[in-house]
Structure 1
């Protein structure tokens, strides 16, 4: 069954001085301010497209890794994933680094790293971002 998720942004003004509001329509979790300075300089309480990508990627990767580990007979107790999306004005997104720490009874470090590499390659968000270099650090807790 296919699903569609929707977010909407209302923007006012030019790129540098303007600002907007991104609303998560599907979930109803809220509306958040976005601006060029929050993207290219400091967040100052506002989000950016890159932060939204980081949230999507960390969640998708965690789900894919959990699914892969469970399918291999070693379900995780916990997974903590961070996605760092680097944005360079004039160049765009220049890379994404995933860092995951897991508690997985019955699995050694090499097995965890292999499962994490597989999840990185196969999670739908990673696949959607194939034009970007994605790197990974994985370790057991």
Structure 2
């Protein structure tokens, strides 16, 4: 995964994302900001093994600071608290999230030299969310 640290990616394709965000309770205004502002995704790691996954727009910045395999407190686009566990295996990052309203989802991100392909499923959500992110730096 080290080859991808510090690189920035933006979403260039999505399928079913707005429906998924609504399913998890994210407000329409927060969804709109994410889509219109071209959120930038970035993964870093410190020398002591602490990872940071960030999502940034001009108006919102989220950071998930974690150690792989350990549960941590997270926050969603609407500033609601939840719990997550992130694991990393080679170029694949898996996130299991339990949102503030109890919804459980799983996102598998496959990192490639020029893109990330993310697939998200959630208990009770009948569709699969697909996202493609392209390297911008």
Q: Using structure 1 for the length normalisation, give the TM-score.
A: 0.27
Structure number having the greater helix percentage: 1
Structure number having the greater strand percentage: 2
Which is bigger in relative contact order (C-alpha 8 A, separation at least 6)? 2
> Could you say which structure has the larger radius of gyration?
1
